[in-house]
Structures are given as structure tokens and as C-alpha cells.
Chain A
């Protein structure tokens, strides 16, 4: 031993145990997502359909939603009622949300018809589904904090649904301050976390292969079939 324990290059401990918790987390992360899996520069040949662009379109729209929301946050929630430019920024936020929801639903339709949960990808589906629901909730609180007639009506109506099952006792849609915090802090954070998990899972598992055609053994281009592949009956 020529160097103190713990410095890079020391040979005191075997590689698989070095670095304590940090080292363990690093090794697990790199094993799950090596760089060329995290940021690949190839894709499976069967990705030959325009339906595949809707995931990235949803993500891009999400970025624009966050950016336009940030712009609104800079001047505060009342700005857009009195400033023409503010009104335009509000319009940017509204239409980026429409695009976000539209692309996300088309992405969802595509993934459903591809049965994209196959091959241990159930969690990818689940995070996507919950992110969708979270987005619906985020949009809902957004409508609540517009501070116009629409907000008044939506709040006084929605309270009945939420009160009927006890949620309204803790989540008061008539409380502008509370709803604003949910809209700009809590729900975007939740959706953001889910989106990140969803993306990491897509990279980790790879894009789901095509369904096997009925009557055909599991699709495989290699000479030796992949182990245990059988047609997935699906039910």
C-alpha cells in the first residue's frame, strides 16, 4: 500500500465495496443507466412510425408550459389582467397547456394500442398515467387561480364534488392562496418527478418491441431465439 486508504487509486478495498453509500448509489445508477443507454445515438429499427414523436412533443410542451408559467410568476397572478403583454404571456401559457395535453393524450393512445406495458414496463405505464392525472389536477388549479369569472364559477362548483367525499375539508378550492401554491409548487413538482421517472424508465427498459403477430412465434431477428420468449397472449 503506497497511498492512504480512500484516495483515488488506492487498492485497499475491492471495487464493489469502495466509496460507502455514495459509491453504492453510483454503481447502481451506472448499472441501470450506463451513459450510452441514458443518451443513446441509435434506436431500434422497428421505430418507424410518426406515432413515436408524441412523447418528445409532450416533453417539449411541458418545458414551454413551465417557462411560460415562470414568466407569469415573475409579475404575479394579477399582472395579466392589466397588461397587454401580460395577457399575451397568459395566452402562451394557455396554448402551451392545450398542446401539452393534446400531445400527451395522443402519446397515451399510441402507447395503449402498442400495449407498451409489456416486458416489465408496467411502471412506465403507471408513471405516465399518474403524470397525466397530475397534469389534469395542475390544469384544474390553474383555472382556479386565473382570478376571473371562470375561476369564481369553477371554484364554487368544484367545491361540491370535493366536499362530498371529505377532500374539500383540507383542499379548499375557494382559497386562492392555497390553490396558487398547489398550482405553481406542489403539482408541477409532482408531475416533474413523475416525468423524470417515466423518462428514466423508458431509457432503462428500452422502447417496447412490436407485438408478435398472431400465430407467429415471438419476433426475433437473431438465429437463436431469445430465451423463454413465447407469444404474449395478453390475458
Chain B
């Protein structure tokens, strides 16, 4: 029997409660959620380095 239960006080549009999804790769186990966060961060980092920056009068 599962003892704890998720709060159902508010129904979020994207309900992240419920069984988590995990990926296994050798000794590495990572949640899809964490993987997405890390992947997005890496993507943003690469974009920040690579995307052209407005020349001339500053970036506003």
C-alpha cells in the first residue's frame, strides 16, 4: 500500500505528480525532469556563446 499521496489542492495544466520517469545508462540513473533541465541549460549556454550579438550601439 502506498502511504504518501500527492496533494490534489490545485490541478496544474501540466501535472508532474505521478510516477517519475527515469533513464538508465550504465551506473548513471537520471530523471527525465533533471535531464531536461540540464539539456536546456547546456542549450542556452551554447546559444549564448554562438548567437550573434548586435554590433554598434549596445544591446537594447
Asked if A and B form a direct contact in the complex, defined as CB atoms under 8 angstroms apart, the reply is yes
- CB pair A102–B7 under 8 Å, yes or no, is no
- CB pair B10–A88 under 8 Å, yes or no, is yes
- CB pair A102–B48 under 8 Å, yes or no, is no
Residue in contact with A106 in the complex, picked from B4, B9, B10, B44, CB distance below 8 Å? B44
- CB pair B47–A84 under 8 Å, yes or no, is no
**A230 CB to closest chain B CB, in angstroms?**
27
Residue in contact with B48 in the complex, picked from A43, A88, A106, CB distance below 8 Å? A106
B53 — nearest CB in chain A belongs to which residue? A48
The proximity string for B residues 1-36 relative to A, scoring 1 for CB distances below 8 Å and 0 otherwise, is 000100101100000000000000000000000000
Contact count band on A? 20 to 34
Q: Does A28 make an interface contact (CB < 8 A)?
A: no
- CB pair A50–B51 under 8 Å, yes or no, is yes
B41 — nearest CB in chain A belongs to which residue? A102
Q: Does A170 make an interface contact (CB < 8 A)?
A: no
Residue in contact with B53 in the complex, picked from A50, A54, A88, A98, CB distance below 8 Å? A50
Taking A49-B53, A88-B10 as known contacts, 19 extra A-B pairs with beta carbons closer than 8 A to each other, sorted by chain A number, are A48-B55, A49-B49, A50-B48, A50-B51, A51-B48, A81-B7, A82-B9, A83-B9, A84-B9, A84-B10, A87-B9, A102-B37, A102-B41, A106-B41, A106-B44, A109-B45, A110-B45, A110-B48, A149-B4
